[in-house]
Amino acid sequence: MRWIAVTLCVLAGTGLGVAATLHSAWVPPAAAQSPMPAATAPAPTASGVQTSITQTAADPVRVAQADTQPAAAPQPDETALRYFAQQGDTVRLQREIDRLRALYPTWQPPADPLANDFVPDQSIVRIWDLVTAGDFAGARAAIDEKKAADPTFVPTADLMETIQRGEAGTRLRNASDAGQFDQVISIAANAPELLTCASVDNLWRLAEAFLKTSAKQRGIDAYSYILTNCTDVAERFATIQKAMELLDRADLTPLFALEKNAEFASLRLDLARRAIAAALQDGGASPSNDDIDLLTKSAEAEKNADDLRLLGYLHLDRHRPNEAKRLFEAALAADPSAASAQGLGVTLVQLNNPAAAEAALADYRDENDEIAKVYRDAAAATLAREPRVAVSETVLSRIVETAISTSDAGLSQELGWYAYAFNQPQTALEWFQTALGWQADLEPAAYGLMIAANALGNAAQVEEIRRAWGGRSVRIAQFGNLSTVSAPNAAVPLPKPRPAHLGQVQTVRVVQQQPAPRQTQQAAAPSGGGGGGGSCQTYRPPASLSPGGALTHAWCLMDLNRPAQAVDHFGRALDSASEATRSDAAYGRALAYIRLGLADEAAVAAAAAPVTQKRAIELQTAILTLKATSAYGAGNYQLALAMLDSRGSFAPERNDLLTLRAWSYYHLKRYREAERIFEAVAATGYGDAVSGLEASRSSLRSIQSP
């Protein structure tokens, strides 16, 4: 029996390091260390009677006794062997075969370990079931019970090694989850059998512990060991993902060098995305040309709209609007969405083509506040083009509709100037008045109102505007004194409109963000915290955010108790390349569905990405609670009880659920069981159980009365 492990070298005074050293070791059990003679099977005579036994000279006593005592070949206990076969654990199956052969040289393993011609020792099966379930304390207690019942019982070395290894693994994982990284390193140093490719999660945790204790090179060595020795494709991929979350770009280079068959190609793309996204942040470093070329080739070949938009914003940031336009057009073709239209609209406005921007944004102008602002910018610039160009009735109608529905004073005053330019002073006056009604301090609208009133011959209104605004506007104060205002068209035009917020449009950026750990508030309907409630007051479509940004936005929505919107944002976060982000997103999405009362959807959401055992138990408890209460509400009391029974495997029942259980029994006419539970709950002072207790006793009396 052989196993391969990583040896941890403890270097005095310098900390711990991983030595990628393979060694083979096996210390046989005590029974196997004692001399064991080699024996051959007896040769039967024609009558079937045994006449001799061949022994080696190493055991003269048995040779002397051979003629007088028949040798009974001992039969090994095959329970563990059969158990491993049933579990499909071929590694342990072979180890058990090797162990039994060492103890019983004449024994041959069964041709079919799964055959049902063997009656297993159920007490040993129970021990292995406990070990498989991770209940190592229970397994040790079961071993003690077996020894007490059978003093000759000796647990196998494999069993004890498995328990010891499992206990050490549990301590290591608990220390890792608690952030006790020095303890993780200490446990690993004293249990090198944990550090194998068969338990790669332990190696990941050790690498993280090294990195979190400033032993960066040792952490890199641990990741390198996995990539050098382990062959599982998914685990190798996850290894690089974990390293990307903890290491700088330069430190990842030696790990990517261990790539086989381009297995990390998608992760190289993710690094390029991160570098480009970081460049779009304030003070961000410029990405390398290699990163830009890599992502560009991939985005155009795969028609990946997210990547095309990211590259588009990069080129906008570098003042290359024509290249940005090409990329946003490709993104819109691949993904006709608000996010794609927004990027194209911003680019077209910068290219001084507001009419095309208005057309590109028109179908998406009501998607969210952000794209609505961009649309209003484009619409205002379309109206203000010089020389003035008449827009179609369709375009003008949707601009008017937008101005009214959003009470946009800037767009309203642009409609006023547009009407005035086409000799409609009364319409212009009404739009200027509307603009001032929405924004009383908008000087361009006040000046426009004066120009329109003058064109209509309303001198009194002109003077009224002068009195109100003369102290705040030189051109309003001096109106009428300038020779240039003798004719309507001589009015001083507004500067070419470029509303102030246009230059502040939020661009779509793909930035991986690591959310802070979330704490649950209650088991029945847990809540993710953090995220900053104020940051999500304005709706933002999930597609317009990076996966990390969507996750932060989703938690913010949960804090505002808007789970229906949070569901979609958590869904966007599941697109992340980061396992931690996907895990948090799956957890959050399940919580959102639980708040919405959708138990089945919550269960599906929870399975979308791996979550920690603690979170899995929390979600399962909440889902089963929801299913139990829903079943009770629907009058399906048997199902309610079944859900409560399942929930009991994860958490104790609270008084409210015990009361629900009792009422379920009551409705099923199981009054004695209902009475017992109501009585116990009522004794704790829980008032809701009192009426149930009275109802149960009344029903019992009516049954018992003659």
Does residue 272 sit in the same domain as residue 301?
Answer: yes
Name which of 456-470, 558-572, 650-664 the model is least confident about. Answer: 558-572
Share of the chain above pLDDT 70, in %: 80
Does residue 563 sit in the same domain as residue 542?
Answer: yes
For residue 130, is it within any domain? Answer: no
In angstroms and rounded to an integer, the radius of gyration of the C-alpha atoms of the chain is 39
Does residue 598 sit in the same domain as residue 617?
Answer: yes
- Read off the pLDDT of each residue in 289-316 and give the average, rounded to a whole number: 94
Indicate the pLDDT class of residue 281, thresholds 50, 70 and 90: confident
Name which of 113-117, 183-187, 350-354, 379-383 the model is least confident about. Answer: 113-117
Does residue 202 sit in the same domain as residue 257?
Answer: yes
Asked if residue 185 has pLDDT above 50, the reply is yes
Exposed (0-12), middle (13-18) or buried (19+): which is 35, by Cβ within 10 Å? exposed
Q: Which of 284, 222, 217 is nearest to 14 (CA)?
A: 217
The mean pLDDT value of the chain amounts to: 79
Contacts of 176 (CB under 8 A, 6+ apart): 184, 205, 208, 209
3-state secondary structure of 16: strand
For residue 148, is it within any domain? Answer: no
- 469 vs 439, 446, 472, 477, CA distance in Å? 14, 8, 5, 7
pLDDT at 4: 30
Does residue 224 sit in the same domain as residue 336?
Answer: no
Per-residue burial over 200-210, b if 16 or more Cβ lie within 10 Å, else e, is: bebbbbbbbbb
Contacts of 375 (CB under 8 A, 6+ apart): 345, 358, 361, 362, 364, 365, 402
Q: Which of 665, 663, 667, 646 is nearest to 655 (CA)?
A: 663
pLDDT at 419: 93
Does residue 287 sit in the same domain as residue 193?
Answer: no
**How many residues are given for the chain?**
706
Contacts of 339 (CB under 8 A, 6+ apart): 305, 309, 331, 508, 541, 543, 544
Instruction: Provide the token pair at 111.
Output: 């041709």
Of 627, 644, 679, which marks where a domain is finished?
627
Q: Give the highest mean pLDDT range of 40-44, 457-461, 595-599.
A: 457-461
User: Partners of 22 in the beta sheet?
Assistant: 6
Does residue 268 sit in the same domain as residue 382?
Answer: yes
pLDDT at 478: 87
Q: Which of 572, 577, 578 is nearest to 588 (CA)?
A: 572
Of 263, 286, 311, which marks where a domain is finished?
263
Residue written as token pair 């009792």: 662
3-state secondary structure of 18: strand
Nearest 5°: CA angle at 372, between 366 and 375? 115
Of 263, 282, 316, which marks where a domain is finished?
263
pLDDT at 515: 33
Helices 122-132, 79-87: crossing angle, 10 deg rounding: 40
Phi, psi of 675 (to 5 degrees): -60, -45
Does residue 517 sit in the same domain as residue 615?
Answer: yes
User: Partners of 283 in the beta sheet?
Assistant: none
Does residue 345 sit in the same domain as residue 411?
Answer: no
Q: Which of 198, 196, 245 is nearest to 222 (CA)?
A: 196
Nearest 5°: CA angle at 213, between 168 and 9? 55
Asked if residue 446 has pLDDT above 90, the reply is yes
Name which of 480-494, 560-574, 675-689 the model is least confident about. Answer: 480-494
Distance CA 210, CA 212 (A): 6
Distance CA 257, CA 660 (A): 60
| Cβ proximity of 264 and 271 under 8 Å | no
**Amino acid identity of 669?**
K
Name which of 74-88, 210-224, 410-424 the model is least confident about. Answer: 74-88
- Read off the pLDDT of each residue in 517-521 and give the average, rounded to a whole number: 32
Nearest 5°: CA angle at 346, between 344 and 352? 100
Does residue 421 sit in the same domain as residue 463?
Answer: yes
Indicate the pLDDT class of residue 461, thresholds 50, 70 and 90: very high
- What is the per-residue pLDDT across 604-657, written as a single tens digit (0 to 9) for each? 888 888 888 888 888 888 889 888 888 888 888 899 899 998 888 888 888 888
Report which secondary-structure segment, H or E, holds 21. strand 15-24
Does residue 287 sit in the same domain as residue 249?
Answer: no
For residue 76, is it within any domain? Answer: no
Asked if residue 317 has pLDDT above 60, the reply is yes
User: Partners of 16 in the beta sheet?
Assistant: 10
3-state secondary structure of 536: helix
- What is the per-residue pLDDT across 150-181, written as a single tens digit (0 to 9) for each? 898 888 887 888 898 889 999 999 999 999 99
For residue 56, is it within any domain? Answer: no
Q: In CATH, what number is assigned to the domain containing residue 304?
A: 1.25.40.10
Question: Comparing 507 with 700, which gets the higher pLDDT?
Answer: 700
Distance CA 186, CA 56 (A): 49
For residue 619, is it within any domain? Answer: yes
For residue 201, is it within any domain? Answer: yes
Provide the domain limits for residue 615.
512-627
- What is the per-residue pLDDT across 38-57, written as a single tens digit (0 to 9) for each? 333 333 333 333 333 333 33
| Cβ proximity of 543 and 337 under 8 Å | yes
pLDDT at 650: 85
Asked if residue 218 has pLDDT above 50, the reply is yes
**Amino acid identity of 692?**
G
Instruction: Provide the token pair at 463.
Output: 């003077």
pLDDT at 706: 56
For residue 357, is it within any domain? Answer: yes
Instruction: Provide the token pair at 669.
Output: 């006419």
For residue 121, is it within any domain? Answer: no
Q: What's the pTM value of the predicted model, to 2 decimals?
A: 0.52
- DSSP secondary structure, 242-307, as one string: HHHHHS-HHHHHHHHTT--TTTTHHHHHHHHHHHHHHHTSTTPPPPPHHHHHHHHHHHHHHT-HHH
- Read off the pLDDT of each residue in 484-513 and give the average, rounded to a whole number: 33
Does residue 234 sit in the same domain as residue 292?
Answer: no
Distance CA 443, CA 430 (A): 16
- 477 vs 138, 152, 457, 466, 623, CA distance in Å? 92, 112, 18, 6, 70
| Cβ proximity of 435 and 416 under 8 Å | yes
Q: In CATH, what number is assigned to the domain containing residue 179?
A: 1.25.40
Distance CA 223, CA 218 (A): 9
Number of domains observed in the structure of the chain: 4
